[in-house]
Amino acid sequence: MSDNSNDTGGLTAVIQRGWLTAGALAVLTFIEYIVATSVDRPTLWLLPFIITKGGLILEVFMHSSDLKTLDGGNA
């Protein structure tokens, strides 16, 4: 029974991490919108936001760091 409670705690942490990441992506998107509408040529200004958002998506939702292990992260 104690294993089940540990699984629930782990699931809660994963869900919380997902919501925090989604919130961070929303904030970054809002800032991107403000920059894009207020700057004449915003491409270079938007590049850090694009890279940051891509990195967050790759790490949190696609688990790209698991690719570094030999078994693909399936333990």
- Regarding predicted confidence, which is higher, 49 or 74? 49
Q: The pTM is what? A: 0.73
Measured CA to CA, the distance from residue 40 to residue 62 in angstroms comes to 34
Task: Scan for tokens 């270079």, then name that residue.
Answer: 44
Tens of pLDDT, residue by residue over 20-46, are 999 999 999 999 999 999 999 999 999
Q: What is the pLDDT of residue 36?
A: 94
